[in-house]
Structure 1
């Protein structure tokens, strides 16, 4: 099914949970899930509320962001054992992570992984995503049977995606799914106008989700639903539920997203439906 612009649409909404991220410190945000047990409990709770994908950044025993493969594999295995969620690893890591380490995280064999489409200022930092890294991640994911979620922080990143696919072919699974990351200081703003500006660059057959960072979370969700898009929410992206009201936990954010999806008459997709949409094998068929 496609919309009037040719974008693929569904009768349901894919909800991705991004529970932790690499920016916030556990000492500053006690509710942030960072241990294996905390991540698993969060994933299980949010699956029950409507999340179908979990986007994982991993922390070490000192709660610091890490791409250590032993730790990453431990978290992936624990989430798979306790849930049916699509396990999507971040290949972005933290802004300070070396590029080779960001590619090596694919060795943990997730179902899916993020693939950022261009370098962008990230507040006072620079999130580096040069062309050669983009091509390597795209190629490595296809060879390993990992489905990419292409992350666009600005409108020009969608042009990069079209160029990538033209030159290097489709992703594993054949379906192109883009996440518009909006509201990052240095990227596109989290506004309806910015989301609308991206829509003509979403090519026929693609699907898209949108992530609103910080206080843009709610307006971006509403804009995405109105345009036939999907949603990513979680404490990686926002720590306030309303003005002067901190987020209680990730489940609170997923519950709100699922409620808005129901109001839009596009209820949350199940994990089975999410795999079908994204071209991901069922757990018993997927390569481990």
Structure 2
């Protein structure tokens, strides 16, 4: 008798993360760009309702500049938790943006002890001498059950992280990663085909839990393509302000909704924070 069970990839949940502000844009770019704790908490609730299971948080100093200040992260997480409880994974960033050293990035994680954090490989381990400290941080994070996500900008970054894993720098057989389809430039427009560089000729990612972020009006198309090819997606004003039709989105939730709806229409299910934590626990 023919097996009518759904294919495994159709049953797998897809995680949608929201990156609502980033470290570069301001309200001059979009008046609904959330900056402070209360605005980020309001955004978190709206994006949760639209289908997100994670929020990727940047905080700003009094001058509106990207910063890695512990108290600002704590205030932001508290505001988000008061609004949505544990229904969203709160992921902080250690991204340097040219302002912070690898040691300062590591210190943030050890003092803040977040639930999850993203780290750009080029920034936190820019060369071989920094790999020892990076390995020590990852070992500590694994013991403390803090979920990492390593930001990779091209195939060279992918190959380097693979090599680090083979050499034992990564204290696990696998690690979550983020593939960035493009660069932070004013005219950047990502396309679904950009994913091929990261997946390689085998069309299969070298890491089992991978997420994509993209720039410009094709952000949604890139997200859906990634999801259908085995990945997850990060959306939001950090990288993109436009809906698929080229009009400016009213807010971050408006960028989540079309991707969530398209995936549901294609028979895919969305991860909740609870199910995404289980997925991350399985590899970390």
TM range (shorter): 0.7 to 0.9
CA–CA distance in 2 between the matches of 1:138 and 1:77?
29
CA–CA distance in 2 between the matches of 1:138 and 1:249?
38
Matched, 1:181 2:180: yes
CA contact (8 A) 1:10 1:228 kept: no
CA–CA distance in 2 between the matches of 1:246 and 1:163?
41
Q: Partner of 2:147 in structure 1?
A: 147
Larger mean Cα displacement after TM superposition, 213-222 or 250-259: 213-222
Secondary structure of 2:180's match?
A: strand
| Rg larger in structure | 2
CA contact (8 A) 1:118 1:131 kept: no
CA–CA distance in 2 between the matches of 1:93 and 1:248?
29
Q: Residue 10 of structure 1: CA displacement? A: 5.8
Cα deviation digits, residues 162-200 of structure 1 (max 9, x gap): 12222235457x6522211102168x9833333134224
Secondary structure of 1:240's match?
A: coil
Residues 1-288 of structure 1: pairs in structure 2 closer than 5 A? 11-83=12-84, 84=86, 85-106=88-109, 107-118=111-122, 129-133=126-130, 136-144=133-141, 145=144, 146-170=146-170, 175-184=174-183, 190-199=190-199, 200=202, 202-203=205-206, 206-242=208-244, 245-279=247-281
Q: Partner of 1:123 in structure 2?
A: none
Size of the aligned set, in residue pairs, is 264
CA–CA distance in 1 between the matches of 2:128 and 2:89?
27
Structure 2 gap segments, 5+ residues each: 1-8
CA–CA distance in 2 between the matches of 1:133 and 1:37?
36
Q: Residue 113 of structure 1: CA displacement? A: 0.9
CA contact (8 A) 2:235 2:256 kept: yes
Distance change in 2, residues 1:193/1:277 (3 Å): same
Q: Residue 41 of structure 1: CA displacement? A: 0.8
CA contact (8 A) 2:138 2:170 kept: no
CA–CA distance in 2 between the matches of 1:244 and 1:198?
26
Q: Residue 279 of structure 1: CA displacement? A: 1.2
CA–CA distance in 2 between the matches of 1:87 and 1:278?
14
Larger mean Cα displacement after TM superposition, 85-94 or 99-108: 99-108
CA RMSD of aligned residues (A): 2.9
Secondary structure of 1:254's match?
A: helix
Secondary structure of 1:75's match?
A: helix
CA–CA distance in 1 between the matches of 2:106 and 2:41?
24
CA–CA distance in 1 between the matches of 2:114 and 2:33?
22
Larger mean Cα displacement after TM superposition, 218-227 or 229-238: 218-227
CA–CA distance in 1 between the matches of 2:63 and 2:139?
33
Normalising by structure 1, report the TM-score: 0.81
CA–CA distance in 1 between the matches of 2:26 and 2:189?
24
